[in-house]
Chain A
């Protein structure tokens, strides 16, 4: 007593499947996140991402902030803002601003970035750095430019610091690593200077600007660049992984959906018609399926990308054009078994046109399978596209997880132990494709009940 099942009962059964519902929930979260990304992250990020200069203020190849909870001492970036300037103006003007901060880490920061802001031309800028024990280090810059970022690699800065190290240790150091210079700013004084012993406590920074005309100093910054950043760390250019991971989401979902809908619908129609027609048309159409099946998708797109400019739509079209054969093969098998059933014979006997029979009897029976395939295929397309991106094939001007992973392997991230750089984009690929797989499997189990023996 086979009862025909309605869409309603399918839906009810789907909601009973725990994995299916979990997939649906993840999918909703992903969609919400996508909307947030599209609305909240400016599209200029894509260009900024490729500009390595734009990320110099961030720590490079830094682990996520939360590693501090795992017993790793990786200071976060600390910005010391200097905005209240006092001083005299006129033909010999001098302004200064002082700010204190507390440093309680065992290690110094990984860099120091100074961004002074003042209207007009100054001839000298001094940073007077007072350590908790009262010792003073002075950094002097001649003819500074307002708004420029000076960091530990700036010649004048490192010269001042080398001079200081020399005065304390009595030895002349020709090459000092940035770490050494930073250590000088944070360590004990005297001969023990380079022992990496950091003074904990309250520091004070004074910014002094000297000029021969009136200046208008405004909010300036001394940024102590940390050794950890954000929720997912940074890559070797200082780009935050979490930002990249978020920015890659809408692209993956959009591409996955477009390509899989196209390929599944195309494949189902192709295979369904082949099985339905039978005879020579079936032979020709099945052969056509084989032709596309024999094209190695990844290589083909790689080769194609040298002749055709890829964009999201082009890539989706090409992926769809190459990935339908699997669906066609299965749809054909299903149709063959439907065709052998009597009502189709009956239609034929009654002279009902075959197109109509296909639309009324065959296609509806293929619909549930189509839904299962589409869901499964989205994950397939996402993985496929990220794999391509990993190989270096992606539309210009997009941030992809595969692209981030490509840079990770080029930078030997595993060798350096920068696990966060590969872990999070990979997990994101998993998270983005998982809901579709879950939904697909759940639907598949409902529409093919024989498969799931209880």
Chain B
């Protein structure tokens, strides 16, 4: 399977008074065409940063400190901004942002904004096209005439998904698209994502905390911790037999129908502004060994998946 989108050794740093916060460090990630890839990790592990980086949306104080992002084989970090804007933004890669409820400009109606994005990319747009998009996400036509503040959080989120689909992108980033939604709507969004993949052939990078949800839809899963990928592989492997102690902890912290008991992971994520040579999870790991505190493990292929842990 050739990959549609590929990050290679991507580094994204935020400049702060305390030094660079290394929110993504040497990240390799691949999304194949017509594939749904899941990205999980606790809050602050760099998931959104990674997605924004691949969309070329990192702004000051952040910067891309190294690595490349290949889209259909082209390094999109090096092409001129104007060409990237015209040929890639939203037309090839779109994103449903974390907190998309604030993604609409507050002073224009929903319809006008969906219409606008089609027009600036040379499509016809028009009322009919907008209505079709809204129907796709189960929204009433009248939503088009409303202002963002007149919509509920869930409505806004779905309207934003509609806007993301306006140009039929090949790649969709969905950064926690289901937060703030009730369970029923969550399910319908998940089904929508599946439909997009199957019917329209869209590839999706799906970011969430909710591993249970993730296991429903994704083909491949990535687990991130402190700016690095610590485990990746086919979804069934990662979710059924997680190997990295962090992944195991994360899974144990997810409520499932089988076990109602939730176990958190004790301790905190290390300060991303203070890089060190040890395994970043060593301070919280119950299997910690001497080696973990002197040398960082790299991703290593074992049993059909990659794990960064000295246990394997």
CB of B13, distance to nearest CB on chain A (Å): 15
**Residues in B neighbouring A416, C-beta threshold 8 A:** none
CB of B245, distance to nearest CB on chain A (Å): 24
Among B36-93, those with CB < 8 Å from A are 44, 60-61
| A453 contacts the other chain (CB 8 A) | yes
Among A409-454, those with CB < 8 Å from B are 453-454
Among A124-140, those with CB < 8 Å from B are none
**Residues in B neighbouring A453, C-beta threshold 8 A:** 60
Interface string of A1-34 (1 = CB under 8 A from B): 1000000000000000000000000000000000
Alpha-carbon distance A203/B303, docked complex (angstroms): 115
CB of A357, distance to nearest CB on chain B (Å): 27
**Residues in A neighbouring B44, C-beta threshold 8 A:** 1
**Residues in A neighbouring B60, C-beta threshold 8 A:** 453-454
Alpha-carbon distance A454/B60, docked complex (angstroms): 8
Alpha-carbon distance A1/B17, docked complex (angstroms): 13
- The residue on B at minimum CB distance from A3 is B18
A contact set with B: CB distance below 8 Å: 1, 453-454
Q: Which 4 A-B pairs have the closest CB atoms?
A: A453-B60, A454-B61, A454-B60, A1-B44
Between A and B, how many residue pairs show CB distances below 8 Å? 4
4 CB contacts below 8 A, A to B, read A1-B44, A453-B60, A454-B60, A454-B61
- The residue on B at minimum CB distance from A453 is B60
Alpha-carbon distance A454/B16, docked complex (angstroms): 11
Alpha-carbon distance A1/B44, docked complex (angstroms): 9
Alpha-carbon distance A1/B18, docked complex (angstroms): 13
CB of B270, distance to nearest CB on chain A (Å): 13
**Residues in A neighbouring B61, C-beta threshold 8 A:** 454
**Residues in B neighbouring A1, C-beta threshold 8 A:** 44
Alpha-carbon distance A346/B110, docked complex (angstroms): 34
Alpha-carbon distance A454/B15, docked complex (angstroms): 11
Alpha-carbon distance A453/B60, docked complex (angstroms): 9
Alpha-carbon distance A310/B298, docked complex (angstroms): 80
- The residue on A at minimum CB distance from B44 is A1
Alpha-carbon distance A107/B44, docked complex (angstroms): 82
Alpha-carbon distance A453/B44, docked complex (angstroms): 23
**Residues in B neighbouring A454, C-beta threshold 8 A:** 60-61
CB of A446, distance to nearest CB on chain B (Å): 13
CB of B102, distance to nearest CB on chain A (Å): 14
CB of A372, distance to nearest CB on chain B (Å): 21
Alpha-carbon distance A65/B274, docked complex (angstroms): 64
- The residue on B at minimum CB distance from A1 is B44
Alpha-carbon distance A347/B302, docked complex (angstroms): 53
CB of B119, distance to nearest CB on chain A (Å): 30
Alpha-carbon distance A454/B17, docked complex (angstroms): 11
Alpha-carbon distance A1/B60, docked complex (angstroms): 17
Alpha-carbon distance A1/B61, docked complex (angstroms): 15
Alpha-carbon distance A185/B61, docked complex (angstroms): 77
CB of B227, distance to nearest CB on chain A (Å): 14
CB of B38, distance to nearest CB on chain A (Å): 26
CB of A38, distance to nearest CB on chain B (Å): 43
Alpha-carbon distance A94/B60, docked complex (angstroms): 93
CB of A452, distance to nearest CB on chain B (Å): 12
Interface string of B21-45 (1 = CB under 8 A from A): 0000000000000000000000010
CB of A7, distance to nearest CB on chain B (Å): 18
CB of B42, distance to nearest CB on chain A (Å): 14
- The residue on A at minimum CB distance from B21 is A1
- The residue on A at minimum CB distance from B59 is A453
CB of A94, distance to nearest CB on chain B (Å): 88
- The residue on A at minimum CB distance from B16 is A1
CB of A3, distance to nearest CB on chain B (Å): 10
Alpha-carbon distance A142/B4, docked complex (angstroms): 115
Alpha-carbon distance A434/B60, docked complex (angstroms): 32
CB of A175, distance to nearest CB on chain B (Å): 78
Interface string of B266-281 (1 = CB under 8 A from A): 0000000000000000
Alpha-carbon distance A454/B44, docked complex (angstroms): 23
Alpha-carbon distance A328/B201, docked complex (angstroms): 56
CB of B58, distance to nearest CB on chain A (Å): 15
CB of A337, distance to nearest CB on chain B (Å): 15
- The residue on A at minimum CB distance from B61 is A454
Alpha-carbon distance A1/B14, docked complex (angstroms): 13
CB of A13, distance to nearest CB on chain B (Å): 10
CB of B16, distance to nearest CB on chain A (Å): 10
CB of A212, distance to nearest CB on chain B (Å): 92
Alpha-carbon distance A453/B61, docked complex (angstroms): 9
- The residue on B at minimum CB distance from A13 is B17
CB of B269, distance to nearest CB on chain A (Å): 10
Alpha-carbon distance A393/B245, docked complex (angstroms): 79
Alpha-carbon distance A299/B44, docked complex (angstroms): 57
CB of B43, distance to nearest CB on chain A (Å): 10
Alpha-carbon distance A412/B279, docked complex (angstroms): 81
Alpha-carbon distance A318/B297, docked complex (angstroms): 72
Alpha-carbon distance A1/B21, docked complex (angstroms): 12
Alpha-carbon distance A115/B202, docked complex (angstroms): 105
CB of A14, distance to nearest CB on chain B (Å): 15
